[in-house]
Structure 1
């Protein structure tokens, strides 16, 4: 993931956190990963690995497809 995609991941993660009223620490716990992993992605702009994205999706109870179902990912090219 490049910088743009990392930012989109972070924005989407925050969106789900607001919806569920949960903290980054809780997402990490639900996802079975260290809080520092998510903290590095959010605060340092580190690009999440694909397995990390899947863990976050599982922890949030959302499919990978639904997690990325927002513009620009769901826009149809014309």
Structure 2
């Protein structure tokens, strides 16, 4: 799984856990629905840092918390 897929899957998981829609996240984060849709539907790439920070703010978490899942929180030995 590439970074884009990992990030989108994580975003959907957090939305589900918080019972939020993409529309509601757009309102809470100040990121337009079209920007979120573009991020989700784009086959490659990752969101810009400022967009990710805004989305995390809308989700009520830090960027560190967003990336607190494997493989991002695993330490290579």
* TM-score after normalising by structure 2: 0.90
Cα shift at 1:69: 0.3
Question: In the TM superposition, what whole-angstrom CA distance separates every residue of 1:39-61 from its partner, at most 9, and x where no partner exists?
Answer: 01112235311110000001111
Q: Does 1:9 align with 2:7?
A: yes
The residue that corresponds to 1:42 in the other structure is 40
Return structure 1 stretches of 4+ with deviation > 4 angstroms. none
The count of corresponding residues between Structure 1 and Structure 2 is 76
Question: In the TM superposition, what whole-angstrom CA distance separates every residue of 1:4-58 from its partner, at most 9, and x where no partner exists?
Answer: 2111110110001100111011111111011000001112235311110000001
State the alpha-carbon separation in 2 of the partners of residues 50 and 4 from structure 1: 17
The structure with more helix, counted as a fraction of residues: 1
Q: Superposition RMSD on alpha carbons, in Å?
A: 1.4
After superposition, where does 1:17-36 map in structure 2 within 5 Å? 17-36=15-34
The residue that corresponds to 2:53 in the other structure is 54
Tell me, which stretches of 5 or more residues in structure 2 are unaligned? Answer: none
